[in-house]
Structure 1
Amino acid sequence: MDSGLDILVVAPHPDDAEISMGGTILACKAQGLRVGVIELTNGEPTPYGSPEIRKRETAAATAVLDLDFRENLELPNRSLESSLEARRKLAIVFRTQRPKVILAPYWEDVHPDHVSASHLTDAARFWSKLSKTDMPGERFWPPQIYYFWSIHLRIHPKPSFVFDISGHIDQKMQAIRSYESQMITGRPTEHPTVLDDIKDRARYWGWTIQRAYGEPFASREEIGIQSFLPLSAEELT
């Protein structure tokens, strides 16, 4: 079974995909790619949220991003582990959705759930290709995996590449604002707010590639290219 999903984002909690790579999702959708998000936990409890509130906020953000697929594995928040059962659940998603590219959390972070999510994604990617298992779906090896930065990571290693999101920053911020219980309620309203911080980081990464806004990614594996001229002469001026 091949659903034709091009990109699958593995997000530890609702809002992680939007914060870390919402612009990339929007840019890929604009290019005609099929993009999905699989959340590992519901992100609760939080000071101003609830499972019901987070579901409504996630639905609003999903509409902004125009995702082709979004589900939640309902694994335990705050105590996420790369357990055998968690690996199985995520591997089944990889087998059924068969993404060409997986985007997962970076393997270093101050939030333990993000570290566990990164390890879990790597393990589930391997499990997805195993034969003679009780998992449904045909065995499948997602061919590419890249890692995105979390808002919690203040000191960033050098990325493998930065994705240009210049034409999508406003929609990215709109999707993030959908999570009012996490981004707005109970937070300081004077500048700079958490929303300002997120946008400013995107501006910094855009600056590094001579673009207005960008989002960084890392790769443990080599990235193949076929040309040293990815941009036209007009784009480089």
Structure 2
Amino acid sequence: MKQGVDILAFGAHADDVEIGMAGSLAKWAEEGKKIIICDLTEAELSSNGNVESRRKEAKTAADILGAFDRVNLHLPDRGLFITDNHIRKVANVIRKYKPKVIFAPYHNDRHPDHGNCFRLVEEAFFSAGIRKYEVEDNFPPHKALSLFQYMINGFSQPHFVIDITDFIDKKVEVLLAYNSQFFVPEGGVPTPLTEGYIESVKARDKLFGKEVGVFYAEGFLSSKPLLLNKNLFGEGL
């Protein structure tokens, strides 16, 4: 892939990316942006569902979003430790797809895998741009423009938000594709995700939207200042 993609969004588990930024991804896909989703694990330790069902749900969700592709690194669930091997695997994906912008979960999340996912991506984001840094497939170095964080659990003051008013219904549709996670399946057990989780995510997006004068928005964080050109006077993104 010589030209590269626009967006590479990482998650520890399938559904992480969708919880945090499905509305934005759907919006950008409709605008023609090329999007890759990379799940680090197959969520094999999930209380409900199994690897096979999660694969099917992840594919359905990506299709609804309009993602160009979805890949999985098959790293161990609850084993996303900051090792050289894991960093190189993530850097390999970055070099392969050459994204303009990268997204990963907010580092301060109740689930340790989410924070570790960010830290792995943060390390790989830097290493992928080093010329002498070696990865499995010998892809040339690539330096993405920015690394942003999206929210999964909890609420943090965002550095910027994206208006998803026209895409909130699609976001809900995408989340509902994860039937094994947001509903208690036969033989399953209640979890935080089955106790009105989608409604709480939608409420958070509504609150972010209210802060900027739209109905729904998704919040993001940046580790460096954002350069505003025409956006300062409200012309939009």
- Tell me if TM exceeds 0.5: yes
Are 2:59 and 2:70, in contact at CA under 8 Å, matched by a contact in 1?
no
Does the 8 Å CA contact 2:27/2:167 hold for their aligned counterparts? Answer: yes
One-letter amino acid of the counterpart of residue 159, structure 1 = P
Unaligned runs of 5+ in 1: 233-237
Separation in structure 2 between the aligned mates of residue 48 and residue 22 of structure 1, nearest angstrom? 22
Alpha carbons 1:105, 1:118 under 8 Å: kept: yes
| 1:10 partner letter | F
**Corresponding residue number in structure 2 for 1:137:** 139
Over the matched positions of the two proteins, sequence identity in percent amounts to: 30
RMSD: 1.7
Distance, in Å, in 2 between the alignment partners of 1:160 and 1:210 is 16
Give the alignment's TM-score, normalised by structure 2.
0.91
Q: 1:149 aligns with which of 151, 155, 160?
A: 151
| Counterpart in the other structure of 1:18 | 18
Q: Which amino acid is 1:144 matched to?
A: S
1:218 partnered with 2:233: no
1:98 corresponding residue in structure 2: 98
Task: Tell me which amino acid in the other structure corresponds to 1:19.
Answer: I
Which residue number corresponds to residue 89 of structure 1? 89
- Which of the numbers 167, 191, 196 marks the counterpart of 1:193? 196
The correspondence of residues 13-162 of structure 1 with structure 2, limited to 5 A, is 13-135=13-135, 136-151=138-153, 153=154, 155-156=155-156, 158-162=157-161
Cα deviation code 1:155-193 (max 9, x no counterpart): 42x2110110000011111110011111112559xx972
Does the CA contact (< 8 Å) of 1:3 and 1:96 recur in 2?
A: no
Aligned residues: 227
Deviation at 1:47, TM superposition (A): 2.2
Question: Could you say which residue in structure 2 is the equivalent of 1:235?
Answer: none
Extract structure 1 runs of 4+ deviating beyond 6 A: none
Contact 1:109 1:115 in 2 (8 A): yes
Partner amino acid, structure 2, of 1:170:
D
* CA distance in 1: counterparts of 2:183 and 2:48, whole angstroms: 10
Amino acid aligned to 1:201: R
Contiguous gaps of at least 5 residues in structure 2: none
The CA distance in 1 between the partners of 2:53 and 2:3, in whole Å, is 30
